[in-house]
Structure 1
């Protein structure tokens, strides 16, 4: 006897890899601010910086590329210079900007996490405390 094929499950087929990647990319807006910034902007700058470093590593040598990136060696001291100047500018401007932006986002997140009350609540409480209290009632304790 031949076995009958299993009936279809009735549901849609599971999403493919491409669909899952597209859905993950669309979900990046749900990340915290720092995570979103790293995925959307920081990763692009870091990838470009890494590509420049790798290009310079092959063309001028890895030690020279590191020295130019960190500002130890001038880009005019290495050959070819056409690739060393963008690397030097990246090390001088882009990398510190990324580090500063990341530190700023982390610090801002920590500050916002410690704000327990709204500013209006704090101001209302301060106004209430600034009002003159009523004089104490005389309880007949005679002095």
Structure 2
């Protein structure tokens, strides 16, 4: 993957995963219904040539009346971000009990910008003078 794709395509997806603390699953991402497409078109300037999807992860499914929506490219970037986290964890040769532990580890070895302002944020050291 080239640097541009990482920084401008996959980085927002990594940030989203760290923010939500959820491993995206294919079965949680569904194409919008015809009615949802109509609502999306009313409120947004969207690329109508692409398919659009909603992400309904278990933790979010009933906690909000907002639906996280992404196009087909963003869906692929989301799964690439999840694969990237998985690769970092596999290379560590550590055993992780759950996805939360994987995110904690990944946040500790990835650039801090991805997990900033999340519960996985790296500890910052500040010198007091």
Fold shared by both chains (TM-score > 0.5): no
TM-score (norm 1): 0.27
Greater relative contact order (Cα < 8 A, sep 6+) = 2
TM-score of the superposed pair, with normalisation by structure 2: 0.29
Structure with greater Cα Rg: 1
Q: Which has the higher strand share?
A: 2
Between Structure 1 and Structure 2, the one with more helix by share is 1
